[in-house]
Structures are given as C-alpha cells and as structure tokens.
Structure 1
Amino acid sequence: MSTRKLNVLVYTGTGTTIASVRQCIYTLRRLLSPNYAVIPLTESALLKEPWAPTAVLLVVPGGADLNYCRVLNGTGNRIIDAFVRRGGSYLGFCAGGYYGCARCEFEVGHPERGMEVVGSRELGFFLGTCRGGAFAGFRYASEVGARAVRLDVRKEAFAGAGVLPESFRSYYNGGGVFVDAGRMGEAGVEVLASYEEELNVDGGEGTAALVYCKVGAGGVILTGPHPEFAAVNLEPHPDVEGYDEVISALAEDDEHRTNFLKACLAKLGLEVNHDNTSIPSLSKLYLSALDPEVVGGLLTSFDTIIDKDGKGRELIRGENDTFLIERQDSRWEAVDDLSSALESAHISTKDSGAAKSRYDAGQAAAVDGLVDYNKVLKTVVPHETSWPGPKETPYFNHADYYASLQEFRRREAEAYEWGDTLMYGEVVTSTNTLLEKNTSLLAQLPTGFTMAATTQIAGRGRGTNVWIAPPGCMIFSTVVNHPAHLGQDRPVVFIQYLAAIAIVEAVRSYDGRLRDGAYADIPIRLKWPNDVYAQDPANPWRDTAKKVPNFVKIGGILTNCAYSAGNYQMVVGVGINTTNGQPTTSLDALLTRFSQRHNLPPFRIERLLARLLTRFESLYRDFVRNGFTRDMEERYYDAWLHSGQVVTLEAEGGVTAKVVGITRDWGLLKAQELGIDGRATGKVWALQSDENSFDFWKGLVKRKV
C-alpha cells in the first residue's frame, strides 16, 4: 500500500493554550485542505499511538514550554526526534519554537516577575539558544504584551516560492529570538525572517525570528512570533491600550502573512492550497423524496420534536444542532433572522449589510474566522411538491439521482426503499454528525433515510480523525434501524462489512451489471475494517518486476450506533473520492488509467449514490434473512487486501500471526499464530484493535476464542 502521508498533527496536550491551538488548526486547514487532514493530537496519543507512519508534519503551538517538558521529556521527545530524523517535519510556533531549541532563556534576570525560565531542551533541533521575550511587556494569559512586529523576509531561503513580501507584520506575544542563527549556516540552519525592530534581549547575529533547520532526513521550522494568528480571529480588548491598532495592522498585512506561511509550509515539503478562498459557510439542507408527497408525511412525524419560537418559526432543537424548518412561505423570514443567527455563532456582523450579502441563507458563502458551527442555525427546506432544481442545488442533480434510483431498483428485487427520502446540503459540517449527534431527530427517521453533501467542513473519521471531503467526493450517511432482537444472530458489526461490499460492487456495477459489466475491472479494494483503497494510477506498482500493486486510500466508512425503542439505530457514513484528484486519487482517474474498455463515461456522484444505496439495501435484506452468509464472506475477501498478511501482536511480546479472515460471530480479525519457523502452531486468535486513531493494524490485541 502507498506510503504517502496525509496527516498534519497539531499537539493539544498539557501546556498548549486554547487560542493558539484554534488559530493553528484554522490557518493550517485553510492553507492545506484538501491535500492534508489537519488533526488534533493529544499528549496520550503522541506517547502511545502509532501516529508517525501516516504523519507528514507535527505542529507544536504556543503555550508554556515547561509544561511540554514535564509530559514529553524522555519518551515523547524520543518519538518526536525519531519522526523528524526519518523524514518527518516539525513546526514550532512561539513556545513550540522555544521547545525545539537546545536551550531556552526566558525573562532571565527577572525572577521577581515569576516568569524566569532557563534550561536545556531535549529536542535540540536548533543547536543554539532561543532567548526571550524578544520584546518587553509579556504577561501570561493576557494581550497586554501583544504587538504587531515587522518581520523582514529572507527571500533567498525560499527558492522558487513565488510571491513573497519583503516584510510583513505578525502577531507577537512573548516569543524569542534564535541567538546567532545567522552564523549557523554550516550546521544546516537558515534564517527565514528577522525582527526589524530593536529587541529587548541580545539576539546575536541575524536577529532571527524564524529559522529552518535540517535534521536528519527531516526539516524543522521554529518561530518566535505567531504568523499563524489571523487578525480576523482576534477579539477586541478595550482594556488593553493600542490593541485595536494591533488588530488593524495585522489585518492590513494578512495577505503577506498568508503568502509567507505558504512558503514556509512548502519549504517543509508540503503541497499548499494556492486558492485564497476561505472556508465555506454552511448551506441550506434540501429535504426531498422520490414521491414528493412523502415529505409532508415525514414532517408530520416530526411534530413531537418541532416547537415554535417567539417569532413563530418552526425549530427542531437537537442535542447538537438546531434546525429551522423553512417552508416555501417562510423564506424571507429566514433571511431577516440571519444576522442574529450568525451573531450567536460568534461571527462578526459589524457591517450588517455586507454580512447579509455574504451569508445569505441561500448561498454557500465564505466565512473568514473561527466559527462554532454547532451554534449556526441549520436551515431545512422541505420540497413537498417537486424536487429541488438546479438553481437551488447546482452541484447535485436530484432528477438524475431519483431516475438512477428507479433504474437500479428495476435490477435489484430486494431494493425498494433506501434513498427514497434524501436531505442534501452543498456545504455541511458532517453528514454523520448531523444525524448521529441529534438523537431526538434520529429517532424519527426511517431506515434508508439518507443525507448527502458536496463538501464537508468537519467530516469525521475514526477516533479523532477528520475525513478530507472536498468537492468531487461522494459523501453520504444512511440510517439503519436494526431490530435489537436480531442482535445475537445478526450482529450489527457486520453492517459495516455489508457497506464495504456494497461500495466495491456499486463501483464495479456502475452500469447496472453486477457481473462482467463495463466497470468490473476497476481496481478497488478494502482495508479492514473500514477503509477503501484503489490502485494508484500515478504509481501503480510497488514492485514492477513482481507485479505487486501499489494502493492508496480513496475513501472510508464510519459507523455510529445507539439503542432506541427496540432498535440499534445506526448511522453509516461513506466518503469516496469520485471526481476529485486530491488528496490521493479518484474513481475517475482509475477509469482513465485502468479500464480495459475505452470511452466509458465518467462517474456521476448522483448515479453512484443511487447504485450504492440499492446494493447496500439488497445486501442488508439478505443479511436480515440469512445472516452473514458464506457468499457474503467470500465477496468481502475477494475485495480485501489482507489474505495471508502477517501481523505482529505487540502486546503479546511480538508473536506473529497470519491473517486468514474474520470471525463469523463478532467480525473480529481471525489469524493463525506462527512459530519461529514461520509455520502455524495450531492456535487461532481473534484480533481486535486497541482503538487508536491512526492505524487499526498497529496495536492489535488478541482475544481468546
């Protein structure tokens, strides 16, 4: 399988500040999506989980580096150092910059202030000292010492970087200067930017504000200031003299700051997003049905969870989100109330006229700044007489979807219900979150109710992971109410395997022919338990001579389950790169590279969604009747990547075992234990993951059977 690394991890453990973490994640997602997933990394995950093999960059944000030392000295720092020396990258902002140096000196000679910090640091990526504060006035948890410092950019350090400013102003609050960095060129140190103003400490040659260090096979950038802080995310502090001017100065130089940061990330080998558009805002959710009259009945079933506010608006107040039901005669009311909805989510509305234009309820406008999307009112537009038209949903053709659904149902005798009702949003937080986290709404939804989207801005993966879901990715979640009395003989764990089989068979039978169709040779595979892989069209062979294919991830399955009213209520989420080439590859690219039949039409998301739902429904109905049959098991094995794979049971002292399948009771991984001679010992183990967020195949633990 491909070794391409897609995770950018932001450390969020002891010592980091909430503001620094939020600014860091916001800026990195804006500059790196959809090419990478920017994911929070706790101190426990850093110390115990196998994050390094899938990470391209570790980011340590601002805070207090003494606390970093307290929890990471020893084991943590050895893990970080090995990650970098083996080719990873490290980016330390402010406290993360101090932490990456061989020595930290902060407020030396001022013990009366209670802030003096002096001592060596284990990582030592920069072999010298970071000395601060570079400017006077710092106070912990305060903006009193904050300022907009001007940085002179060393363009010679960014060969081929494109547009770069001569200088720009950056947020600063307590950072240091990298002493004598200008003399360390022979040690692999480059000054990326220097302070223009006179410093409060001796910075030596270079007055270096940001440095790059070559460390083993990897690269490191350390900063004194906070170039990741965007002015739009800074809140006014009337009690701090001159702070408004700081925000204004930073706002004026924001484009320069962004271009400089892009150059820094590119220097670390990352592929940045050169589109300066902001993260899109949430769009309306359009509720429709194959038979539009069904929508009215569904709304009636919502009566017990709909209430009216003081303005007479119909609201569903879910456990995580609030939904406004915007019937055809209430659209203008929603626009009138838009400003208050944005304010409740902490979106600035200083210019109310501009805000109403930018955040028009019918548009997927861009949002600048941090937003609590859980607090944004979600508008649901029911279509009780017709399907949404192209003006309302320009990126999803409802007529194509429903026509395809009917076409495939004529070929699938067991498919006649799933996908009948569809809620679609051009831009949503997460289709799984909107259903699974709002249990009162979920309890009213029938099996087969589906939510689809064009773009997710908070897509979820396993554990704390996020799923990169740019336009061109088929994104949907479907409700499955699995009767609890079937739980013993028809365990819910197998439903994710049914979804996996459905994905492969839907792609291969996109033309409607389940066997020997025109799309049957598309090289799509399954990685246990919930990832979808495909042969990389750009680099198809891991070993060309032996014809060992190279696979990359193109999708995944996320299942959530809760019990309610005699059912296991499952939300099965699926994301598949369909027409988008980033961050890995897409079904369309596979079609062009591997199809043995020429001139096949590209995949349409609407048609593929309909095909997948009909396949999934047919498989589920067979499962309810007959259980997870031998035929289903063989179809799953035909598509997976693991037959004969040897795994190491780390918790058992390095015992090895060969994968032979999944258990038929609870869907665990079944493996034959191997002796030191590589032969089977006769023992068979059922394996499950330790539930780390990064790799199910690391940390496998055995369960006796």
Structure 2
Amino acid sequence: MPGGADMGYCRILNGKGNRRIKQYVEMGGRYLGLCAGGYYGCAKCEFEVGVKGMEVIGERELAFFPGMCKGLAFPGFVYHSEAGMRAAELKVATKQLTDVEAAVPERLKAYYNGGGFFVDAMKYADKGVEILATYEDQVATADEQKSNKAAIVYCKVGEGSVILTGPHPEFSGTNLNRDEPTGPQGYDKLVDALVEDEQYRILFMTACLRKLGLDIRAETQHSVPSLSGLHLTASQPIVVSELLQSWQEAGLIADNVIKGENDTFLIGSALQSDAFDLGRVKAAVATASDPVGGLEPEDPPKTLMAHETSLPQSKDTPNFDHHAFYTHLRNYHSQQKESEATFGKILIYGEVVTSTSTMLEKNPTWLAEVPNGLTATATTQLAGRGRGTNVWVSPPGSLMFSTVMRHSLALSTSAPVVFVQYLAALAIVAGIQTYDKGYARLPVRLKWPNDIYALDPTRPASENAYVKIGGILVNSSYAGGDYTLIVGVGLNVLNAAPTTSLAQLAAKAALPAPSLERLLASILANFEGLYLRFCRTGFDTVFEQSYYRSWLHSEQIVTLETQGGVKARIKGISTDWGLLVAEELGFGDRETGKRWELQSDSNSFDFFRGLVRRKI
C-alpha cells in the first residue's frame, strides 16, 4: 500500500474493501504499507494534530498494528513538495532479520517525507509485533523518546505477515533531482547521503521482503540496468539508408542528431566505430529548440545505430537474432492470403529501453515521419505500460513490442479504428497457433478488451484456471486525414513467474519452447494479414466468429457495477463500434429485453468475479 494520503484509501476501501484485505492477510497473504500505507495499517492514525487543514485523527479498520501511528516524525512536511524531506537515519534490529538468508546492515539512511512512528510498539510484542528499525534522531511528536521511535514494524496477522513503515526504504535516492526547488536547504547533500547508502537500502529491503515470506531471487538483487543503444534494421538494408534520407529531407536530422520532444537520438553508422563527432553532437543538442515537455538535463541521449549494409551480428545484439527474425518474417508473410510485407519490415531493437511505446508516442515529430509497420522491440523494459497508469518492469523472457500503424479516417464507418485492439488480440492468438506444428493446441484465450490469458498448466484442467500472460495497449492520435496508432504488446513467453508462460504451455504439450524472434515474426505477419482484410471487409461475421472462438466470455453471467449491480449475460461485442454487449437477466435468469453496450475505456472486466466494473 503506497504513500500519499491515507484518507483516500479510507473513502474507497472502508467496509467491504478492508474486510477483503484483512481476510487475505489472515489467510496467509502479505501486506507492505509504506508511509501512508503504514498509517493505514494501524488501529489508529494521528497526523499533524492541531494543525489547521492538515490534521487527521481517526480509527482505521485494518488494525494490523494494534496501536497508533503518529506523525509527523519530523517537521516540515508539505503536500506535493520536498520541503519536509530528510535522509532519516535508521537503526536496524538485525536480530529480527537474522533468519532471512541475507546480510543486514546495522544502520542506513532512508528517504523520509511525512511519515510517522509506531507508538509504544514494544508493548505489543505478545501480539506478534516486532520492531525492525527505529529512528536514530529525535522524533518530533513523541512523548517518551526511548519507547516511541519505532520507524518500521513487522506484525504477524493470522497466517499472514505485515510490514509497516514510516519512511520510504523502498525508494532509491537515485530517483531524486539534486536541484529540486522545493527541497530544504542542503537538499543536494541529503540526496547524496541517500545515494551513498543505496546498497544498504537494497540489503535491508531484501531482508524485509524475505521476512514477509516473499521469494527474493538472487538474480533480482541488482540495480536497474542501464539503458542500451538502439539498432535500426530492415529486411533489406537499403531501406535503412532510404529511411535516413527521408528523415534528413524532413528536417529531422541535424548533425547526426534527431531532437525529439522527449528524447534525443544520436544517429550512428554500423560502418564505422567513430561515427560520432562528439563536438558537433553536443552543439546540436545544446542549440536544438527545447520543446514543451522536452529532454530533461539528466536524461542521456539515445544512440540509434543504423545498419545500412548488413544486419547486426550476435556480438552486437546477443539477446536478439536479427537474421532469424527476418528469415521467419519472410516465411510467415508468404503464408498470408493478404500481405504487403510491411509490418516488421523495419525494426528498432534495444536490449534495455524505458518503453517501446513511450519512445514512439512521446516524440510526435519523429513519429509523424516513421513508416507504417515499423516495430520497436526490446529484451528488457524498465517502464512498460498498460491501461490507465499501470507501469511495470518487463524482464528478459517476455516478448515486448510496439508497432506503428496508419489508419485512414475514410475507413471510420466501414472499419472503425476501435477494432484494431481486437485485431491485435486475434493476431497474438493466431501468431501462437501458427507458430509451428502442434501449437494450435495451446489453450490461449482473450479477455475483453485487451488481455491474453492461458490455462494454467500447473493446475488440473478440470479447474479451468486461466491466468494472464499478456496484454495490449493501443494509443492513437490524429493528423492529416489518418489515425496514427501505436499498438503495444507484452507477452510472457519464457518466464514461469508470475503466472505462467507459453514455454510452460508448450512443455506440457511436449513441444519445444518458442523463440522470441520467431514468435514476433509470426504475430506481425498475422497482424498485417488480419488488418488488410479488416480494411476491406470491416469486422464481419468471419472476424466475429474467430474472436468468439478465442474469448472467455460467451454467455458468461456477470454483475454490471456501472448499472447499479444488475445481473446480465454477456452476448458479445457490437460490430459497429466494438462495445461489450450485455443483456439484463431477471427472475430465473430470464432475459428482460434490456440491453447495454459498454465502452472499454470506462469499464474493466473482472473475469473471475463475474463483474464488469468502473475502471479506476
């Protein structure tokens, strides 16, 4: 449960929500409450008592910690500001963390901004409370300093475990701007102190998470990898030269630099290792116009290596075989009834990127000159994106890509742009099923509107236990008579965690694990074939039947939260605007004749609870 302000949590979760959280923990779940999430996990919260406009006093329903969390621990807090920030020195109760198989520091500095302390925590030892860390400095609002300095506590709750914090031991000082204008005097030195203790912070957080009972694997205990260079390739290398020429003519490239609204790209040539005249590059970056939302000073330019004569060798891109990808792409394109061999023809690959979708979307001037079908892919994403504000790290073993599409406004009636997300879902299923012989048997399904699910191979088939293995995000903009779409896809191909993967499904079917390069080629070829037919026929009966064969919801009975909790049966999606169609059920589950058509942007489908709810 993150930081912020816990009153918002109360408004949304009081009652049923908190009962479910508490039941989850008591039955063996884990709860990690950070700052506001720490206040929220206590029986009582007191915050800035007597301060007008800031005071919060009240009981809290979760009550994992049976006492009170009181704040501020240190003065100066201002909402949406760094004014009250400090590098709080913590003394760690190493004896409480000795059985977690990790080295634990005796002291560390942690980011603090508005958190509390846990009053008289030691008095609740007989109720399963342990103090994991205390504040070394004097706590502002404590009456008895010796007993009131608990900064982080562990609580045993039923079969589950809880850790509540006042500071933010999960937060890395490397994320802070030393020149933050709202920070206190000496803010830069506070940031430096946090960065200096970064390894201690990681060790402590690892110990805390293991204390909760979580599996912290050795390979995850390293800092976030640095961003890598990008490789621009094409099925025919001459296409790369032609593309660079078109960007030059459009005024995008100046002194081997593309200055986008969000990123700066340094164009390099694979023909020469000293492709950059660094003096000219620095000058170009310094003199380029600074657009709204432009490059932050601390963001390094991205290298875009253009391969104009040949594809990268394995030593250049050890985690992605370009030769295999383009070979499979040609083969799969040739199998399509309708194909222009455009999707995937041009590829941008990076071993480590922030987000393939963000890289394209946040640089609209460059995006306007990117050809239809260009695809960006990566081995690791540090800020993968989903619906709403969902963001996550996507590790190696996942297939992550974003494809640029141009969809004509003239097709708005016959082939509405909203159906592209459904075509992408169909393409993923088709790309898997036509990957190779035997793959058509893999139990992969679609959850409305944009998720990919698979039958969990570790559980009995009779349970019909489907788990998420992928998702789709389509972002669109409009200019010059065309929609520009960025279709982003994330698919777990090789990783058993956190749910399952295609490799596990294949193993259960006695099939070899799929390769990322070949699967990407298969999905792109199927996507283009489906899209070209869609432009010609619209979302016709053939598309409908194909979609319903793969989705999870046919005739499913659900509760419509947006309609006051009425009971309804899912009938399909409308063929005009792709809305979810549901018909009301009355007594004895008889249809009443009342029908709803629900938008995906406003609703989310909780498949396992049979609930169509408002998207928050």
Structure-1-length-normalised TM-score: 0.75
Distance 1:377 1:83, change over 3 A: farther
TM alignment of 1:351-362, pairs within 5 A: none
* More displaced stretch, 328-337 vs 436-445: 328-337
Q: Are 2:223 and 1:278 aligned?
A: yes
Is residue 689–residue 700 contact of structure 1 (8 Å, CA) maintained in 2?
A: no
> Aligned partners of 1:414 and 1:649: how far apart in 2?
40
Equivalent in the alignment of 2:38? 97
> Aligned partners of 1:568 and 1:233: how far apart in 2?
35
Compute the displacement of 1:229 (Å).
4.1
Equivalent in the alignment of 1:221? 163
TM alignment of 1:40-51, pairs within 5 A: none
Distance 1:690 1:256, change over 3 A: same
Compute the displacement of 1:473 (Å).
1.0
> Aligned partners of 2:130 and 2:281: how far apart in 1?
47
Secondary structure in structure 1 of the residue aligned to 2:545: helix
Secondary structure in structure 2 of the residue aligned to 1:279: coil
Task: Find 2:66's aligned residue among 109, 127, 131.
Answer: 127
TM alignment of 1:560-599, pairs within 5 A: 560-593=475-508, 595=509, 598=510
> Aligned partners of 1:142 and 1:425: how far apart in 2?
34
Equivalent in the alignment of 2:292? none
Is residue 671–residue 684 contact of structure 1 (8 Å, CA) maintained in 2?
A: yes
Secondary structure in structure 2 of the residue aligned to 1:389: coil
Equivalent in the alignment of 2:289? none
> Aligned partners of 1:471 and 1:181: how far apart in 2?
42
Distance 1:692 1:107, change over 3 A: same
TM alignment of 1:224-303, pairs within 5 A: 224-233=166-175, 250=194, 253-274=197-218, 275-303=220-248
TM alignment of 1:106-505, pairs within 5 A: 119-123=57-61, 124-131=63-70, 146-156=86-96, 158=97, 160-165=99-104, 167-171=106-110, 175-195=115-135, 201=142, 202-203=144-145, 205=147, 207-214=149-156, 219-233=161-175, 250=194, 253-274=197-218, 275-307=220-252, 313-328=255-270, 332=274, 334=276, 336=278, 375-417=299-341, 418-505=343-430
> Aligned partners of 2:459 and 2:281: how far apart in 1?
49
Compute the displacement of 1:73 (Å).
4.8
Compute the displacement of 1:550 (Å).
0.9
Distance 1:373 1:651, change over 3 A: farther
Equivalent in the alignment of 1:664? 575
> Aligned partners of 1:115 and 1:688: how far apart in 2?
39
1:178-201 Cα shifts (integer Å, max 9, x gaps): 222212133342322334667663
Compute the displacement of 1:237 (Å).
8.3
> Aligned partners of 1:260 and 1:316: how far apart in 2?
42
* More displaced stretch, 212-221 vs 409-418: 212-221
> Aligned partners of 1:292 and 1:236: how far apart in 2?
44
> Aligned partners of 1:427 and 1:338: how far apart in 2?
26
TM alignment of 1:516-531, pairs within 5 A: 517-531=437-451
> Aligned partners of 2:137 and 2:392: how far apart in 1?
43
Is residue 502–residue 514 contact of structure 2 (8 Å, CA) maintained in 1?
A: yes
> Aligned partners of 2:127 and 2:397: how far apart in 1?
45
Distance 1:436 1:240, change over 3 A: closer
> Aligned partners of 1:168 and 1:617: how far apart in 2?
57
Is residue 531–residue 553 contact of structure 1 (8 Å, CA) maintained in 2?
A: yes
Secondary structure in structure 1 of the residue aligned to 2:269: coil
Q: Are 2:556 and 1:619 aligned?
A: no
Compute the displacement of 1:320 (Å).
2.9
Distance 1:240 1:484, change over 3 A: closer
Query: Which amino acid letter does the alignment assign opposite residue 572 of structure 1?
Result: V
The number of equivalent residue pairs is 589
Compute the displacement of 1:460 (Å).
0.9
> Aligned partners of 1:320 and 1:570: how far apart in 2?
18
Equivalent in the alignment of 1:50? none
Give aligned-pair identity as a percent.
Answer: 46
Is residue 307–residue 314 contact of structure 1 (8 Å, CA) maintained in 2?
A: no
Query: Which amino acid letter does the alignment assign opposite residue 149 of structure 1?
Result: E
**Structure 1 residues not aligned, in runs of 5+:** 1-57, 345-370, 512-516, 542-546
Distance 1:335 1:223, change over 3 A: farther
1:109-145 Cα shifts (integer Å, max 9, x gaps): xx7x98996844434443323345657x756566788
Structure-2-length-normalised TM-score: 0.84
> Aligned partners of 2:281 and 2:245: how far apart in 1?
29
Task: Find 2:3's aligned residue among 60, 65, 73.
Answer: 60
Compute the displacement of 1:677 (Å).
1.1
Distance 1:288 1:126, change over 3 A: same
* More displaced stretch, 500-509 vs 299-308: 299-308
Is residue 670–residue 686 contact of structure 1 (8 Å, CA) maintained in 2?
A: yes
> Aligned partners of 1:415 and 1:389: how far apart in 2?
28
1:215-234 Cα shifts (integer Å, max 9, x gaps): 57764322234423434445
* More displaced stretch, 550-559 vs 580-589: 580-589
> Aligned partners of 1:627 and 1:242: how far apart in 2?
62
Compute the displacement of 1:94 (Å).
4.1
> Aligned partners of 1:324 and 1:99: how far apart in 2?
47
Is residue 181–residue 205 contact of structure 1 (8 Å, CA) maintained in 2?
A: yes
Task: Find 1:639's aligned residue among 550, 560, 564.
Answer: 550
Secondary structure in structure 1 of the residue aligned to 2:311: coil
Distance 1:643 1:120, change over 3 A: closer
Compute the displacement of 1:90 (Å).
4.3
Q: CA RMSD in A?
A: 3.6
Compute the displacement of 1:169 (Å).
2.0
Distance 1:253 1:298, change over 3 A: closer
> Aligned partners of 1:338 and 1:144: how far apart in 2?
42
* More displaced stretch, 215-224 vs 498-507: 215-224
Q: Are 2:22 and 1:85 aligned?
A: yes
Secondary structure in structure 2 of the residue aligned to 1:582: coil
> Aligned partners of 2:169 and 2:497: how far apart in 1?
27
> Relative contact order: is structure 1 or structure 2 higher (C-alpha 8 Å, sep ≥ 6)?
1
